[in-house]
Amino acid sequence: MPTLTRLLKPGGRIGVVVPALREEPEGTEPPEHLRPWWEPDFWCFHSPGMAGRCAEMLRVDEGRALGFVRVVGRRR
C-alpha cells in the first residue's frame, strides 16, 4: 500500500475493486462463453446476491470465524 499511497495527492484515497459475476452460475460448469479462459480460482467470484447468503452465515457464526476485510489507502 505505501507504493500506491505515495502516488496520491494529499487527502486522496485508494479503493479496492474485486472481480464479480452478475449472477451465480448454475451447476458446476463455468459460463460457456468464458470456458476457454476460466481458471479454477475464478470460482471465488460471486454475484452481489451472494451477499445475502454471506450475511446469514455471519449471523449464524456470531463472530467466531467469519468477517469482512476492508482495505482503504489514504495520503495525509
CA distance 21 to 72: 23
Q: What is the pLDDT of residue 35?
A: 92
CA angle 8, 11, 17 (to 5 degrees): 60
**pLDDT higher for 2 or 59?**
59
pLDDT of residue 1: 67
pTM over the 0.85 mark = no
Here the cell at position 16 is 479496492
